[in-house]
A and B are shown apart, each in its own frame.
Chain A
């Protein structure tokens, strides 16, 4: 037996913890990437590398948010999480592509002895970003499927009746 009041309290507690984690990690990310220099490939490369170190706590926060949505039983909140997850899936996908291009560019800019380290480090970030893209996409699909618009009841008489047996008469039978 589940106690709705206990579920709500638990969901609220998980939600607060997740929000603290998100704010904390967002602050750390901002600290590392500010000021923004989107036109500089070095900045882009380093920023994505720094952000990738925050992936695990952010996924943890995402999981907590999803669990909290289950406990709170608020449909719009769960659907909002689905939209956010889908948005992140697209962002991660774009990041994977652009980071790969930046990594290729960076290989030409660094000293020869640093190329191997850069390649392996970039590979780690690429794998992580690609995995997160897939994971957030899958979670968004599951959220939409589970908490999507409830199926409307079929209106009485609107469904076409099931036809049993063959109809006979003009246009339905053999003409030959």
Chain B
């Protein structure tokens, strides 16, 4: 094994890619059950969806990063492209969650009623929105990097 780090590094990248994939499936599963358990009222469903997503921002970022490192290390072009696309889709979903949170969540309603940003509701709003928007920025960055990396190895067409 010593002096031959490449195969073990390859297995490490595969393990990270698997961890990222499991993370994504986990969070998608958690979000998917929200409409079933939170009732039929659209506003409540949307706000619960947004809160569930934003509470799990760290999981989203962890999964995105693991998948990026894993697939980036493995270096298969199609995998890189898919991971990049997935990261960008997640960024869009995170941005939508922030908007939904601001427009539908209870803390948003408290703010609009004029209770200010010094109250726990305001702090919660700021925390969730900040982490959500940070996730958007990081995911967009990772996504674009992956897509660019997947295109970089493509041979030029001549003639």
Contact among A59, A73, A117, A120 for B22, CB-based, below 8 A = A59
Q: Which residues of A have CB within 8 Å of B62?
A: 56, 60
Contact (Cβ within 8 A) B16 A63: yes
Contact (Cβ within 8 A) A75 B1: yes
Closest Cβ neighbor of A66 among chain B residues? B15
A41 at the interface (CB under 8 A from B): no
Contact among B12, B14, B25 for A127, CB-based, below 8 A = B25
Known: A2-B5, A120-B33. A55 touches B12 (CB 8 A): no
B23 at the interface (CB under 8 A from A): yes
Chain B 1-49 residues near chain A, CB threshold 8 A: 1-2, 5, 7-9, 11-12, 14-16, 18-19, 22-23, 25-27, 29-30, 32-33, 36-37
Measured CB to CB, the closest approach of chain B to A134, in angstroms, equals 10
B128 at the interface (CB under 8 A from A): no
Measured as residues with beta carbon below 8 angstroms from the partner, the interface class of chain A is 20 to 34
B63 at the interface (CB under 8 A from A): yes
Contact (Cβ within 8 A) B11 A142: yes
Measured CB to CB, the closest approach of chain B to A59, in angstroms, equals 5
Contact (Cβ within 8 A) B36 A146: no
Closest Cβ neighbor of B38 among chain A residues? A117
Most buried by B among A59, A75, A132, A135: A59
Q: Which residues of A have CB within 8 Å of B12?
A: 63, 66-67, 69-70
Measured CB to CB, the closest approach of chain B to A15, in angstroms, equals 12
Number of inter-chain CB pairs below 8 Å: 89
Measured CB to CB, the closest approach of chain A to B154, in angstroms, equals 29
Contact (Cβ within 8 A) A70 B11: yes
Contact (Cβ within 8 A) B8 A70: yes
Chain A 8-66 residues near chain B, CB threshold 8 A: 55-56, 59-60, 62-63, 66
Measured CB to CB, the closest approach of chain B to A131, in angstroms, equals 6
B66 at the interface (CB under 8 A from A): yes
21 CB contacts below 8 A, A to B, read: A56-B59, A56-B62, A56-B63, A59-B18, A59-B22, A63-B15, A63-B19, A70-B11, A71-B5, A78-B8, A116-B36, A117-B37, A120-B33, A124-B29, A124-B30, A128-B22, A128-B25, A139-B11, A139-B18, A142-B11, A146-B11
Chain A: residues with CB nearer than 8 A to chain B? 2, 7, 55-56, 59-60, 62-63, 66-67, 69-71, 73, 75, 78, 116-117, 120-121, 124, 127-128, 131-132, 135, 138-139, 142-143, 146-147
Closest 6 CB pairs of A and B: A70-B8, A67-B12, A63-B15, A124-B29, A63-B19, A66-B15
